Amino acid sequence: MQANSKPQPTEPWRQRLIRGLLYGRNVDRSIKARARVGFAMLAFAAIYSVIGFRLVTIAVVGDSHGGRRAAAQDAVATARPDIVDRNGEVLATDVKTPSLFGEPRRIIDQDEAVELLTATLPDLDTAEVRERLSSKKGFVWLKREITPLQQQEIRKLGIPGIGFLRENKRVYPSGPAVSHLIGLVNIDNQGIAGIEKWLDTNGLADLHRAGFASDRLQKPVELAVDLRVEHALRDELMKAKEKYSAKAASGLVSNVRTGEIVAMVSLPDFDPNNPREAHDPDRINRLTTGVYEMGSTFKTLTLAMALDSGKANLNTLYDARGALHFGKFAIHDSHSLGRAITLTEVFTYSSNIGAARVALAQGVEAHKAFLKKVGQMDRLRTELPESAAPILPKRWSELNTITISFGHGIAVAPLQAVMGINAMVNGGYLIPPTFLKRTEQQALEIGKRVVRKDTSDKIRYLMRLNAEIGTAKSAEAIAKGYYIGGKTGTAEKVVGGRYSKKQVLNSFTAILPADNPQFQVLVMLDEPKALPETHGFITSGWNAVPAGGKVIARIAPLLGIAPRFDLPPSDRLILAASKATQ
């Protein structure tokens, strides 16, 4: 028997259409529902992860008010790396400091806000604050770098639309000690001078723009300077400047083997924590920005040129019986010997006549070529952006060769002269100066030989002999045991178009120890005055030399140089040793 089956109800066509649009055909609705629930869970998890990450970011680094800054396009001081000396002493670092800003669109009572703010910060300019708060900007600075106490007082006022941002402020723990070397930054923590500016031009500014320098996790910049030596040099220069009533004083200590600048001082200097002082034109860095006629220290280069050419030796004679006449000009010596003198005596007696005859014997073109080879004819480039090009004769004649042979008629940066003399005593290698740490191997890779080792040995002998019997004797007496060598320079300054015998720039360059030089010390005094103890003299031997001796006595132990006593004279310890190794 066949069972009777009840017919199934037919689904209305409208429901079939809706179900088809929503779920498609032949799809299990329960499976699709589970898939959609899973998708919703993933979406909510992603949203909450983003929210959680943002909360953690704000808790750790704080809200940077980036939107407000972006809207206003105002610069905010970003972080800079620490700058340290060769021993790790901090020379420049960042500290966090609050700055006051306003959001004009949120200010309810402008007059009240101006009145309260200017009462709390009296140095604010009322008109300027009113103008800024009246603008239609979303963000304006009101005062950068306020104190925590000022921040607390303003916070208590409870003014809507007034807030604070923590910025990086650059501080210099050593004050003016290394001011010309370090330089300084502006209110936005951007370098505007010295090593600080060099940092920005060598990638730091790009990091700031890219947003990768927003914290202090940056590797410190290590300089070649030794802060201990810097303090000792500055202290002695300040004493000398005061004692001789000099217009200015400057000096540096250079490693002759690496070109590193271990100390550099130019007085008067400035405190980089007080940027206003830096704009005083009398506070320039005289060692890199100034160019000067270096006087008789240039005779070192003149005699090295003659010795290296092979046309002269230490015993070659030069006529110094009387003045050297050239046209309407006459060249004289301070202490005329009235006879022919050897090349050695030209150096120890600092004879202008002798130096002129040495240069003339080489010829004008050879003289120019040698000075260019030893780096005295082109602008010296270092990490410091501040540098000056040398002043050269427009037309180089025999008269120019005569005067330049003893340091007149050409003006160079003192650091440039130091570089040239370093090459004369370090074995003959011209090594570009640097304010960053450098090894001897790195120096040799970039250095170039400009004179023979034999020439360098003879120049060291002459400089040591000058400390034994010549114009550098007083430095030897002060810095006993350090076997120094040296050369003095007294350059008459041009006043009213003529050289003045009463206004001079004195210099003393010394090497230590002379038998195996490691460092060169330069001391300069600008317009020193005569004292009773100098018997009315203002030449270098009476002021720059004793000042240099005091500097050496203080810094030699810091540089790791031990005193040695009862050493043989220079002809035996330097000259004889040089001949023995040839």
Question: What pLDDT, on the 0 to 100 scale, is given for residue 67?
Answer: 42
Compute the distance between CA of residue 343 and CA of residue 466 in angstroms, rounded to an integer: 13
CATH of the domain at 358: 3.40.710.10
Question: What pLDDT, on the 0 to 100 scale, is given for residue 58?
Answer: 46
| Average confidence (pLDDT) over 508-522 | 97
Question: What pLDDT, on the 0 to 100 scale, is given for residue 74?
Answer: 45
Q: What is the pLDDT of residues 203-242, one digit of tens each?
A: 665 555 555 555 545 789 999 999 999 999 999 999 999 9
Residue at 389 is within a domain: yes
The DSSP symbol for 201 reads: I
| Average confidence (pLDDT) over 304-310 | 97
Domain count, the chain: 2
Q: What is the pLDDT of residues 465-495, one digit of tens each?
A: 999 999 999 999 999 999 999 999 999 888 8
**More confident site: 248 or 326:** 248
Mean pLDDT of the chain: 87
List the one residue out of 55, 18, 35, 517 whose CA is nearest residue 254. 517
Question: What pLDDT, on the 0 to 100 scale, is given for residue 59?
Answer: 47
Answer whether residue 63 shows pLDDT above 50: no
Contacts of 465 (CB under 8 A, 6+ apart): 344, 347, 348, 485, 570, 571
Same domain, 164 and 237: no
Residue at 56 is within a domain: no
**More confident site: 313 or 158:** 313
Please name the amino acid found at residue 554: R
Residue at 53 is within a domain: no
Question: What pLDDT, on the 0 to 100 scale, is given for residue 190?
Answer: 87
Under the banding of pLDDT at 50, 70 and 90, the label for residue 167 is confident
Q: Which of 153, 171, 189 is the last residue of a domain?
A: 171
| Average confidence (pLDDT) over 486-515 | 91
Same domain, 264 and 166: no
Same domain, 109 and 247: no
Same domain, 443 and 543: yes
Question: What pLDDT, on the 0 to 100 scale, is given for residue 448?
Answer: 96
Kindly give the residue spans of alpha helices, DSSP state H, lying in 364-413.
Answer: 364-373, 398-405
Q: What is the pLDDT of residues 316-375, one digit of tens each?
A: 999 999 899 888 888 888 888 889 999 999 999 999 999 999 999 999 999 999 999 999
Report cis status (omega within 30 of 0) of the bond before 12: no
Compute the distance between CA of residue 385 and CA of residue 387 in angstroms, rounded to an integer: 6
User: Which of the residue ranges 248-262, 287-301, 307-321, 567-581 would you say has the lowest mean pLDDT?
Assistant: 567-581
Parallel, antiparallel or unpaired: strands 83-84 and 221-222: parallel
Question: What pLDDT, on the 0 to 100 scale, is given for residue 580?
Answer: 60
Under the banding of pLDDT at 50, 70 and 90, the label for residue 12 is confident
Q: How many Å is the Cα radius of gyration of the chain?
A: 36
**More confident site: 563 or 279:** 563
Residue at 204 is within a domain: no
| Average confidence (pLDDT) over 58-67 | 44
Answer whether residue 38 shows pLDDT above 80: no
CA distances (Å), 253 to each of 256, 271, 396, 535, in order? 9, 21, 32, 30
Same domain, 265 and 342: yes
Compute the distance between CA of residue 491 and CA of residue 412 in angstroms, rounded to an integer: 13
The DSSP symbol for 540 reads: G
List the one residue out of 481, 483, 467, 458 whose CA is nearest residue 541. 467
Answer whether residue 57 shows pLDDT above 80: no
Q: Which of 171, 193, 219 is the last residue of a domain?
A: 171
Same domain, 161 and 281: no
Under the banding of pLDDT at 50, 70 and 90, the label for residue 462 is very high
Same domain, 388 and 241: yes
Question: What pLDDT, on the 0 to 100 scale, is given for residue 497?
Answer: 80
Instruction: List, in sequence order, every residue forming a beta bridge with 486; answer none if it has no partner.
Output: 510
Question: What pLDDT, on the 0 to 100 scale, is given for residue 439?
Answer: 96
What's the predicted TM-score (pTM) here? Answer: 0.80
Tokens linked to 581: 């190794």
Residues recognised as catalytic: 296
Q: Which of 124, 151, 171 is the last residue of a domain?
A: 171
| Average confidence (pLDDT) over 112-118 | 87
Do residues 75 and 188 make contact, with C-beta atoms less than 8 angstroms apart? yes
Same domain, 271 and 404: yes
Same domain, 389 and 501: yes
Question: What pLDDT, on the 0 to 100 scale, is given for residue 510?
Answer: 97
Compute the distance between CA of residue 510 and CA of residue 235 in angstroms, rounded to an integer: 18
Query: Which residue segment(s) compose the domain that 278 sits in?
Result: 229-580
Same domain, 139 and 238: no
Q: What is the pLDDT of residues 75-88, one digit of tens each?
A: 555 688 999 999 99
**More confident site: 71 or 448:** 448
Q: How many residues does the chain have?
A: 582
Residue at 32 is within a domain: no
Residue at 378 is within a domain: yes
**More confident site: 91 or 3:** 91
Residue at 107 is within a domain: yes
Under the banding of pLDDT at 50, 70 and 90, the label for residue 96 is confident
Under the banding of pLDDT at 50, 70 and 90, the label for residue 400 is very high
Q: What percent of the chain has pLDDT over 70?
A: 85
Answer whether residue 70 shows pLDDT above 80: no
Residue at 71 is within a domain: no
Same domain, 242 and 159: no
CATH of the domain at 132: 3.90.1310.10
Q: Is the dihedral of CA 25, 28, 30, 34 positive or negative?
A: negative
Q: What percent of the chain has pLDDT over 90?
A: 58
Same domain, 133 and 246: no
